[in-house]
Amino acid sequence: MPIQWSSSVKDAIEIPMENEEFPVEPPIVDFLYLNAESSSYVITFIPADRASRQEKEIVQIPENSVDGRRIQVRINEIEKALGGHINRLFHAGDGDFGFVFADGRQKQLSDVQSTAANSQYIYIQLQDLGMIAQIAFHENQLLKNQAG
């Protein structure tokens, strides 16, 4: 069953799930987790064409940096919406995302029994996470170019 999202349930639209155009434009988080050893978020993402010609890019963002705190805010909002502490999140294909909780449970956004507004809110957080990752990647590239 496709995810429904909109500002109100009566205006809900279907999000394509198979062999259809992806409903969210890149950058899209592909995989995100907090690496405890380095105290940094590791994010693999699908960049916008203007940011990279690669299919996927990876960036590490220190947990205690400004961007790291922004990431934690977004994750906290998703956790509130889903009801649990998230250890990892990942792109599950097409318009779907998966979440692995600290207690070992897993949920996919397409399986979540919630309101359309709640699903839309989670998508907004995911889009923001993708943008944070892409901006950090771009800044790292600029710094490398200036240094080299």
pLDDT digit string, tens, across residues 32-69: 999 999 999 999 999 999 999 999 999 999 999 999 99
Cis check for the bond before 16: say yes or no (omega within 30 of 0).
no
Q: What is the pTM of this model?
A: 0.83
Question: pLDDT tens-digit profile of 19-35?
Answer: 444 457 899 999 999 99
3-class SS of residue 18: coil
